Every structure is written in C-alpha cells, then in structure tokens.
Amino acid sequence: MDMRSLVGRNFSRLRRERGLTQEDVEARSGFSQQYLSDLERGKRNPTVITLYELAQAIGVSHVDLVRPDEEHDGLASL
C-alpha cells in the first residue's frame, strides 16, 4: 500500500464530504492550493505535524487520514 496515495484519497474524500474546496482548506490551514492538490494526487509525503494540521483544518482526526479504506485494506489484517 502506498501511504501517500492513501492519505491523498482520504484527505480528498473527507474534504469533499465536508463541502470544502481546496481553497477553503488553504485559507484555514495556510497550505497552498498547489500543495493540497499534490497531496490529494499522492505526490507529497507529509510529516506527522502536517497531517495533524490538515486534519484540524477539515475537522477530522489525523488518524482518519491514514486509516485504510475498504478498497485498499492492506493494513487491516495486521
């Protein structure tokens, strides 16, 4: 499982579920829209602190960003 892709998918899904645009998250977090776009496409390798700050910006737990989804559940059996 590629963690960058997992985080990107989770972040994108959770952001959209909350009705937020990348620009909304940029204003809340200070991370650029380009960074957020790269993150959602699995092109960024965020630090733990970045995950925490982004999770706070969209109103979720940082754990939600790294939680395996059902489609790509490679870690659930560990």
Give the start-to-end residue ranges of the domains of the chain: 3-66
Percent of the chain with pLDDT over 90: 86
pTM: 0.87
CA atoms of 78 and 73, how far apart (whole Å) = 10
Class in CATH terms, 3-66: mainly alpha
- Residue range 26-60, pLDDT digits in tens: 999 999 999 999 999 999 999 999 999 999 999 99
Query: CB–CB of 29/54 below 8 Å?
Result: yes
Flag whether pLDDT at 75 surpasses 80.
no
